[in-house]
Amino acid sequence: MRKFLYLILFVMTLCVFCCSCSQKTNDVKKTSSQHEKKLKSVPNNNTKEDVISEEDLEKGYDLPVSAQENEEATRDSMQIMSGLEHIYRNADKGDSLNVVLDNKSICKMIKKIKQQGYSVTVSEDYSNMENYKRFSSFLAKAQKKQKGSGVIYEVHSEGSIGREKFIYDGKDMFLLASNASWDDNGKPIITFVSYTRIKKWRYSRKGWFCYELCVPEYPEVTEMVDGSCLIRIKPMSDNKRKLSRKCVRGLAYQGNNILCSNWDQEHMQKIDYNGLYEYLYAMKYKKKFNGKKYPSGIPKDQFEQLIMEYLPVSREDIEKYASYNEKKKTYDWMRLGCFNYAPNFFGTSIPEVTKIKHNSNGTVTLTVDAVCEMVLCNEAVITHELTVKFNKDGSFRYLGNKILNGGIKKIPEYQYRILKEKSKR
């Protein structure tokens, strides 16, 4: 579950982040999910028995939690936690101040909850929901205006367990959310219970549960609050997950334009080579590029060799299209920051492979969706076809990208990191 994000704070935070480093946020390891944090930031634990007034219902958030629902959330969560206590106690929690459990322990927790028949997921990119059919059935019935409820448990990386009970009354959808964590003695505790109306929701053909929670609005708050959420219900295949991690997650849609522009082997002049370099470096060497080692620019051979490994472009064309210092024989590089990047919601999207096509010429075309939760709440802001060529040793090359259905008009114009003469574009 994810924290209500203040948009202005998001912009300021992202700007500071970009100024301090160019590393993308890795969503695989989280101390808790964004959705959980959203819910915790709103006043909660209102457990009055009173009937919800029309005024409160219209407002939609900080709704009173009935004693029965509060008792059920507490009882069920504590029951789950009691079965996980030995796993948490024996887990490798790392050496950092903020506890992060090892993957093996997280998997054990998921398996334990799954065995009890519950729908359970984890706060990790490309993760599948176990026992998803149970919750999918609830959503399918709700689409037909049938009353019912469905519960999802979410295992967080620090070992806490979120419980989300979605209730449909035939007209409105509500979310009864709670979280169970561990105290300093390793004993389970309930950290919050909240009840919120869902302003709008849909269950997409691709298997995403997309919804927007009611949140405080102006003039009650001076900053916009984002209540948009996305949960994958229908599973992703292992092959699509593997290719998503291998070919597109490391690039995404921020700091380079490989996935958010149209290009092919005959039209490569618009690629932001100087911005792209650090992402290819991280993909190849599995570590962040340290630009401080190259205050005068990246050496010509080093830069060109890496670019040519991943793209079908010659040294001559790289020199022509990229920002190159002929005198120093280096390529310019500048970290992504406030002065060369305007934060936008599309930039937070996660690329996901949704279709794999093997072509007769030995290439593979990957259909990719840009999944954006923040504000846009869209499982496919754009859809594009990325063509790649895989080698026998497991390496690969990008050969082209095509944005479908006029999607290029739906996203912000790409901002090149280093300005250069338009003639080179």
pLDDT at 224 over 70: yes
Q: Give CA separation, 385 vs 170, 369, 413, in Å.
A: 40, 9, 19
Residues contacting residue 237 through CB under 8 Å, at least 6 positions apart: none
Name the domain boundary from 209, 235, 261. 235
pLDDT score at 23: 43
CA–CA separation, 64 and 49 (whole Å):
7
Mean pLDDT across 141-152: 98
Same domain? For 116 and 188 the reply is yes
Q: What percentage of the chain has pLDDT greater than the value 70?
A: 87
> Is 214:226 a contact under the CB 8 Å cutoff?
no
Sign of the dihedral defined by the CA atoms of residues 149, 233, 229, 192, in that order = positive
Residue whose token pair is 């457990």: 47
SS3 content of the chain, % helix, strand, coil (to 5): 30, 25, 45
Question: For 284-395, where are the E strands, in sequence order?
Answer: 298-299, 324-325, 330-331, 350-358, 364-371, 383-390
pLDDT score at 9: 43
Same domain? For 282 and 338 the reply is yes
Name the domain boundary from 235, 258, 279. 235
Same domain? For 314 and 404 the reply is yes
Residue whose token pair is 């259909």: 367
CA–CA separation, 158 and 119 (whole Å):
20
Same domain? For 351 and 285 the reply is yes
Name the domain boundary from 215, 235, 255. 235
Token reading at 425: 């574009």
Each residue of 295-314: pLDDT tens digit?
999 999 999 999 999 999 99
* pLDDT band at 87; cut points 50, 70, 90: very high
Each residue of 238-297: pLDDT tens digit?
999 999 999 999 999 999 999 999 999 999 999 999 999 999 999 999 999 999 999 999
Same domain? For 144 and 249 the reply is no
Same domain? For 228 and 257 the reply is no
Residue 7's nearest CA partner among 213, 225, 220 is: 225
Same domain? For 253 and 221 the reply is no
pLDDT score at 270: 96
Task: Please give the DSSP secondary-structure letter assigned to residue 190.
Answer: E
Residue 114's H or E segment, with its range, is: helix 103-115
Same domain? For 255 and 203 the reply is no
Buried b (16+ CB within 10 A) or exposed e, 299-326: ebeebbebbeebbebeeebbbebbbbee
Residue 215, SS3 per DSSP: coil
Same domain? For 145 and 177 the reply is yes
pLDDT score at 98: 84
> Is 195:176 a contact under the CB 8 Å cutoff?
yes
Cα torsion at 123, 2, 130, 110 (round to 10°)? Answer: 50
* Range of lowest pLDDT (44-58, 104-118, 135-149, 381-395): 44-58
pLDDT score at 399: 99
pLDDT score at 81: 98
* pLDDT band at 37; cut points 50, 70, 90: low
Residue whose token pair is 């295992």: 155
State how many domains the chain has: 2
pLDDT score at 36: 57
Does a cis peptide bond (omega within 30 degrees of 0) precede residue 235? no
Same domain? For 36 and 185 the reply is yes
If you compute the radius of gyration of the chain from its CA atoms, what whole number of angstroms results? 24
Average pLDDT over the chain, rounded to an integer: 90
Same domain? For 201 and 68 the reply is yes
* pLDDT band at 218; cut points 50, 70, 90: confident
For the ranges 89-93, 240-244, 336-340, the maximum mean pLDDT occurs at 240-244
> Is 231:121 a contact under the CB 8 Å cutoff?
yes
Residues contacting residue 232 through CB under 8 Å, at least 6 positions apart: 121, 127, 128, 129, 207, 208, 209
Same domain? For 257 and 231 the reply is no
pLDDT at 199 over 80: yes
Residue 139's nearest CA partner among 201, 66, 181 is: 201
Token reading at 321: 């299209």
pLDDT at 344 over 50: yes
Show the domain range for 346.
238-425
